Amino acid sequence: MALHRRAILGGLAGTLPAPLAFGAARTAPWPGGARGAVSLSYDDGLTSQYQYAPPALRARGIKASFFLTLDNMQDRVAEWRAVAAEGHELGNHTVHHYCGLPTTRPERFVQREVVDAQVRLNTLFGRQPRILAYPCGVTDLGPGTPNDQLHLYAGLLREAGFVAARISDGPPMSRRYARDHRFALNAIAPTYATEDLSEALAYLDLTVARGRWANLVFHGLAPTRADSGDTANAVHEAILDAIAKRPLWCAPIGQVLAHLGVGGPIAPKAG
């Protein structure tokens, strides 16, 4: 399998086909006759996420994926159990959220940061398939070229029982692309550095027009945007409403992967 990373998508709005008729989708419908799929990720296991995201999602009947960093969430297990009980997916975002990866002893890193987090999450929330979201989207583990590094990382994840992992950039994916690049699933965080909705809306429109799968990532949520990375609640909810207005199937990442035939047992090695 060719594992390569696509360049960060820049200027997406300028690449949109015109006109953006929904009928332009060239592939078979997604579940429910939808013309595209979208998954929502909330990364890092932040307090503001379980405060603000579930009510907004509940009001619109949407289920999402929350990628938990153990360092951030282990004092809030009851709250995250409540999130899971609503039908949301809890994924793995490592123990410490390191964004600089080691060039040596990659097996030790994956064991301590990823597999140990998986074992702990399964202990806290029940054993089930869990996807990894790479902290900061970085996959440059071990020596070699970026391609070598991703291949090494993905191989170690496969050995540990993972079936997929998500990066933090790249355009909406075709079904075939997602199957072939299941350890580097594309996503964007369109409101990380701006309150401007245009990138998110363009991404959703491209997803519909091409019959693809979009992953949108959020970090902190807040009544008003204060810090870089935060999304104001009004902006977050405007994106949820934009999804609801489009012919999109909105489902957690694991559910979309299952629809694509990507799945199987998750058996992380303990210790």
The footprint of Zn ion (CB under 5 A) covers: 43-44, 135
Is 44 or 89 the residue whose CB approaches Zn ion more closely?
44
The answer to whether the Cα torsion of 24, 25, 29, 31 is positive or negative is negative
3-state SS, residue 76 = coil
Q: Which helix (H) or strand (E) holds 239?
A: helix 233-245
CB-nearest residue to Zn ion: 43
CA–CA distance, 169 with 167 (Å, rounded to integer): 6
Is 189 or 208 the residue whose CB approaches Zn ion more closely?
189
Closest distance to Zn ion from the beta carbon of 261 (Å): 28
Closest distance to Zn ion from the beta carbon of 19 (Å): 37
Is 49 or 205 the residue whose CB approaches Zn ion more closely?
49
Is 43 or 230 the residue whose CB approaches Zn ion more closely?
43
Nearest-CA neighbor of 210 among 256, 239, 177? 177
Is 43 or 237 the residue whose CB approaches Zn ion more closely?
43
Is 135 or 190 the residue whose CB approaches Zn ion more closely?
135
Is 44 or 230 the residue whose CB approaches Zn ion more closely?
44
Nearest-CA neighbor of 167 among 131, 207, 136, 200? 136
Closest distance to Zn ion from the beta carbon of 44 (Å): 4
Closest distance to Zn ion from the beta carbon of 184 (Å): 16
CA–CA distance, 155 with 253 (Å, rounded to integer): 20
248-250 and 213-218 strand pairing: unpaired
Closest distance to Zn ion from the beta carbon of 126 (Å): 23
Who's near 19: CB < 8 A, 6+ residues apart? none
Closest distance to Zn ion from the beta carbon of 97 (Å): 6
CA–CA distance, 256 with 178 (Å, rounded to integer): 10
- Our CA dihedral for 46, 49, 54, 57, rounded to 10 degrees, sits at -130
Who's near 109: CB < 8 A, 6+ residues apart? 101, 102, 141
Helices (H) and strands (E) in the chain, counts: 10, 9
3-state SS, residue 185 = strand
Closest distance to Zn ion from the beta carbon of 258 (Å): 24
